[in-house]
Amino acid sequence: MVRSKSVLITGLFVLAAASHLVAKTQSTPAVNPVVKASGEDPKESSNTVIFVEDMHCKHCAKRLARKLFAVAGVKKVKANIEHDFAVVIPETKKTLSPLALWEAAEAAKFKVIRIETPIQTFETKPVEPAG
Quick one: average pLDDT of 26-37?
37
Instruction: Return the pLDDT at 60.
Output: 92
Bridge partners (DSSP) listed for residue 69? none
* Weakest mean pLDDT among 11-25, 44-58, 69-83, 105-119: 11-25
pLDDT digits (tens, 9 = 90+) for 49-101: 999 998 989 999 999 999 999 999 999 999 999 999 999 999 998 889 999 99
Q: Tell me which CATH code domain 48-122 carries.
A: 3.30.70.100
Q: How confident is the model at residue 1 (pLDDT cuts 50, 70, 90)?
A: low
For residues 98 and 8, the model is more confident at 98
For residues 5 and 70, the model is more confident at 70
Domain ranges of the chain: 1-30, 48-122
Instruction: Return the pLDDT at 129.
Output: 61
Mean pLDDT taken over the chain: 75
Q: How confident is the model at residue 46 (pLDDT cuts 50, 70, 90)?
A: confident
